[in-house]
Chains A and B, each alone.
Chain A
Amino acid sequence: MKILVCISHVPDTTSKINFVENNTRLDTNGVQFIIGPYDDYALARAVELKETSGATITVLNVGQADTEPTIRKALAIGADDAIRVNAEPTDSFFVASQIAAQAKEGGYDLILMGRESIDYNSGAVHGIVGEMLGIPSISPVMTLDIEGTTAKLAREIEGGKEYLEVNLPFVAGCQEPIAEWKIPNMRGIMSARTKPLKVVEPVSTDSGVKLETYELPPAKGAVKMISADNVQELVSLLKNEAKVI
């Protein structure tokens, strides 16, 4: 089985977000970049599938050269080789077009990624890739098991989950608890250095989405503390000041 795992390179969840260049670029000063947490779940599940039933894992990232440490980490976790599409991941349609182009060439049985990247939160790439390749796309996926050419999945729905069956190949947008995040071990880190990482140029595409500016939400006012002996005051504030009950 050939698995393609698509990973995003995103600011750590604890990062403070600021913008520069007239609010058109993220201020990366002091920001630690990581594998997108949802993509990390997808990768972890792919590694488990490789361990139990044998598979090769290719990891794909759309990003500029500075994403290579993130890609190497994915190789250290257990991917066999990597592709970096040398371009800035500006929007879902652009990224999906790159993934679809590589997927057509690679002929993968399974394409996994996170349900969304935690920078743009679009949750759209898996669907667009599925449509471009003419195969099913399922998201958000909570469990994934494969028997032969059939997969059984659980998809989260509001207030519960539904169980699905689908034949390979397909695209899945993953989330917890599909697998536990894996921490690379020393052997993985050493071997990742020499695993193949191919750099390819992007295909051109018109996504019809253009960034104008970024902005930050207005600063939050100071918290109003209320004595534990006076919960009535809280109720009255919620009713009369915040007007939320």
Chain B
Amino acid sequence: MNSLVFVESAEGKIKKTSLEAVAFAHAMGGNVTAIAIGQTEQAELENLGKYGAKKVLHVADDKLNQGVIQAYAAVLAKAFQDEQADVLVLADSSLGTPVGARVAAKLDASLASNVVQLPDTSSGFVVKRSIYTGKAFANVSLTKPKKVIGIKKNAAEVKEVGSSASVTPFQVSLSDADFSTKITSSEKATGEVLLPEANIVVSGGRGMKGPEHWGSIEELAKTLGAATGCSKPVSDMGWRPHHEHVGQTGVKVAPQLYIAVGISGAIQHLAGVNSSKCIVVVNKDPEAPFFKAADYGIVGDAFDILPKLNDAIKAAK
């Protein structure tokens, strides 16, 4: 089985979720080729060998430094054919998922996203995917010879299995139609831990009483190397930006540790966090429904507990 892995980078560095995709492909067995599109540091590309890529293709084209969905799909479909790949593996993301869908349609491939573990290939190719926003799983057979799979965060463990790989330039002639969508500008929080990729998330809800009290959430997040999140009402009221909204219609996270402070735990919020490994809930209302979904709970005042927790974690480090 030959797999092609689409790796995404941010500010020149390969994203951790893409390293998971390489590790996933390696664990499936067979030859693994990784492909990076746009500006990526050379050392980062070579490093992909350590996580299981035999070969790394790099499409260095300034027009592709931003994620144009159609153009990226055209590049991946071409590489898939040239490399005679059987499976395209990518990390589900705001770019990977829509791109993967177009590639599957181009290649006439079976498609599955939100895959949570390695395929069962004992008879056919069966993947387990997360459905109903984390409330259930579906085991589905992918029956076409070509397959595209999007993996959910934490589907594979990133570990060093080899040495650095050689990087080959890869060129594709793209048509104007592939660039019919123009990205005119972008804005991005920099220097912060990005919420969808974070291993630890500290989230605040209405119980924080106002945006001016977010300092203690940010403090704790900084101590833990965590990303900050919030509930839907908090983002609706404009206390925090929309990209921090965790929940059914916001970002779905799957961190090792999710700390919710002053969030009651409406089912729509839980839908965004139910893939977390460990959930800690701090709420002054002992009846808050979030406690039922938590591993650890503290009933108490957020403004009292946050600084104490911050100090205790610092002391334990």
B67 within 8 A of A: yes
Say whether B242 contacts A176, CB under 8 Å. yes
Say whether A160 contacts B186, CB under 8 Å. yes
Question: Which among A19, A139, A211 is the interface contact of B140 at CB below 8 angstroms?
Answer: A211
Say whether B299 contacts A228, CB under 8 Å. yes
Q: Which residues of A from 144 to 178 have beta carbons under 8 Å from B?
A: 155-167, 170, 173, 175-177
Question: Which among B97, B249, B315 is the interface contact of A176 at CB below 8 angstroms?
Answer: B249
CA distance A130 to B74 in the complex (A): 13
* Minimal beta-carbon separation of B65 from chain A (angstroms): 12
B73 within 8 A of A: yes
A65 within 8 A of B: no
| In the complex, chain B residues whose CB is within 8 Å of the CB of A127 | 69, 73, 97-102, 105
Say whether A158 contacts B196, CB under 8 Å. yes
CA distance A170 to B181 in the complex (A): 10
B165 within 8 A of A: no
| In the complex, chain A residues whose CB is within 8 Å of the CB of B143 | 208-210
CA distance A140 to B249 in the complex (A): 11
Question: Which among B110, B243, B292 is the interface contact of A223 at CB below 8 angstroms?
Answer: B292
B1 within 8 A of A: no
Say whether B98 contacts A223, CB under 8 Å. no
A49 within 8 A of B: no
CA distance A238 to B256 in the complex (A): 10
Say whether B136 contacts A19, CB under 8 Å. yes
Question: Which among B10, B104, B186, B296 is the interface contact of A226 at CB below 8 angstroms?
Answer: B296
Say whether B142 contacts A208, CB under 8 Å. yes
A165/B242 contact (C-beta < 8 A), A126-B98, A231-B305, A235-B312 known: no
A37 within 8 A of B: yes
Say whether A159 contacts B316, CB under 8 Å. no
B41-49, B80-88, B124-132, B205-213 - interface stretch: B124-132
Say whether A160 contacts B111, CB under 8 Å. no
Assign chain B's interface to a size class: 35 or more
* Minimal beta-carbon separation of B17 from chain A (angstroms): 9
CA distance A209 to B196 in the complex (A): 27
B37 within 8 A of A: no
A128/B137 contact (C-beta < 8 A), A17-B132, A164-B181 known: no
| In the complex, chain B residues whose CB is within 8 Å of the CB of A242 | 257, 277-278, 295-296
* Minimal beta-carbon separation of B123 from chain A (angstroms): 10
Assign chain A's interface to a size class: 35 or more
A211/B313 contact (C-beta < 8 A), A11-B132, A17-B132 known: no
- Which residue of chain A lies nearest to B267 when distances are taken between CB atoms in the complex? A14
B28 within 8 A of A: no
B248 within 8 A of A: yes
| In the complex, chain B residues whose CB is within 8 Å of the CB of A214 | 131, 136-139
Question: 1/0 contact trace for B130-152 toward A, CB 8 Å?
Answer: 11111111111111100000000
CA distance A232 to B295 in the complex (A): 16
Say whether A177 contacts B242, CB under 8 Å. yes
CA distance A14 to B247 in the complex (A): 12
| In the complex, chain A residues whose CB is within 8 Å of the CB of B280 | 234, 238
Question: Which among B136, B195, B249, B296 is the interface contact of A175 at CB below 8 angstroms?
Answer: B249
| In the complex, chain A residues whose CB is within 8 Å of the CB of B271 | 13
Supply 9 A–B pairs (Cβ within 8 Å), ascending by A: A37-B248, A123-B98, A124-B104, A126-B98, A136-B180, A157-B67, A159-B243, A163-B183, A176-B250
B residues adjacent to A (C-beta < 8 A): 10, 66-67, 69-70, 73, 92-95, 97-102, 104-106, 109-114, 126, 128, 130-144, 177, 180-189, 192, 194-197, 200, 224, 242-243, 248-250, 256-257, 267-268, 271, 274, 277-278, 280-281, 291-301, 304-305, 308-309, 312-313, 315-316
Nearest first, the 4 closest Cβ-Cβ pairs linking A and B are: A127-B101, A228-B300, A208-B144, A160-B188
